Amino acid sequence: MAIRSLLPAAVLSLAGSLAPAWAGVTVVVYVYNFEFSINPPGQPVHDAVIRQGDTVEWQWVHPFHNVVASSGQAEFFQSPINNAGATFTHTFTNVGTYGYYCSVHGFDDGAGGFFGMGGYVTVLCLADFNGDTTVNTLDFLAFLNAFTSDDPRADFNGDTVINTLDVLAFLNAFTTPCP
C-alpha cells in the first residue's frame, strides 16, 4: 500500500526531471547592406521571431555595422562596429518586441524603435505555440495538431525526437505563467 501511495509522486517527479525546460535555439540574423534579416542577401527581409530563452546570433555579411538595442526596453545589448565574418549574440529572456539599430546608419527613436537601419526581435512566450502573443487553448490544440502530424515544431524540448517528453514539456510551459 505504501508503494502505491508513493507511486504518483514518484512518477510526477520522474516526469519533471525528464521534461527539462526549453533549452533554447539560436536564430541567425544576417547583417548586410542596410538590413537586418533572418534571410541572407537576395531573399526577403524578415525580422526574427523567437521564443523565451532563444538566442539571436547576428552574422556580419558586410562590414561597418553594429547592433544597439533601442533605449528603455527590458533587454539591452550592444555590439562593436564589426567586420564581415563577425558574430554577436544575445539571449532573450523577456517576452516582448525589441527594437535595435545600427548606430552608423540609424538611430534610436527613444521609444523602443529606431530610424534608418534597424530591426526588431519579437520574443514569444514559450507556450505561445501559434505565435499570436496570447497563451490559450488554441496553443494547446495547435501543439497537439503538430504532435499528431509529426510537425518538427512539436519537438518542444529540442532534443530532435518527438515523443511524450515533448507533451510534458509543452504542458510545463503551458501551466507556467508567462512573464
**Which residue is listed with cell 527581409?**
45
CB of 122 to Ca ion, least distance (A): 13
CB of 140 to Cu ion, least distance (A): 42
- Options 20-28, 60-68, 98-106, 121-129: segment touching Ca ion (CB under 5 A): 121-129
**What are 168's strand-pairing partners?**
none
- Binding pattern to Cu ion, positions 92-111, x when CB under 5 A? ----------x-xx------
* Partner from Ca ion, Cu ion, none binding residue 49, C-beta < 5-8 Å depending on class: none
Residue 117 or residue 146: which is nearer to Cu ion going by CB? 117
Taking the C-alpha atoms of residue 124 and residue 86, their distance in angstroms, rounded to an integer, is 27
Residue 63 or residue 72: which is nearer to Cu ion going by CB? 63
Binders of Cu ion among 48-67, rule CB under 5 A? Answer: 65
- The angle at the Cα of 44, spanning 39 to 49, to the nearest 5 degrees, equals 55
76 C-beta neighbours (distance < 10 Å), count: 13
CB of 119 to Cu ion, least distance (A): 11
The side-by-side arrangement of strands in the sheet containing 26-32 is 35-37, 26-32, 55-60, 87-91
**Amino acid type, 76:** F
Q: What DSSP line would sit under 97-133, residue for residue?
A: EEEEEEEEEEEE-SSS-EEEEEEEEEEE-TT-TT-SS
Residue 159 interacts with Ca ion (CB under 5 A)? yes
* Partner from Ca ion, Cu ion, none binding residue 62, C-beta < 5-8 Å depending on class: none
Taking the C-alpha atoms of residue 153 and residue 151, their distance in angstroms, rounded to an integer, is 5
Q: Which of 130, 140, 144, 171 binds Ca ion (CB under 5 A)?
A: 130
What residues make contact with Cu ion under the rule CB under 5 A?
65, 102, 104-105, 117
What residues make contact with Ca ion under the rule CB under 5 A?
128, 130, 132, 134, 139, 155, 157, 159, 161, 166
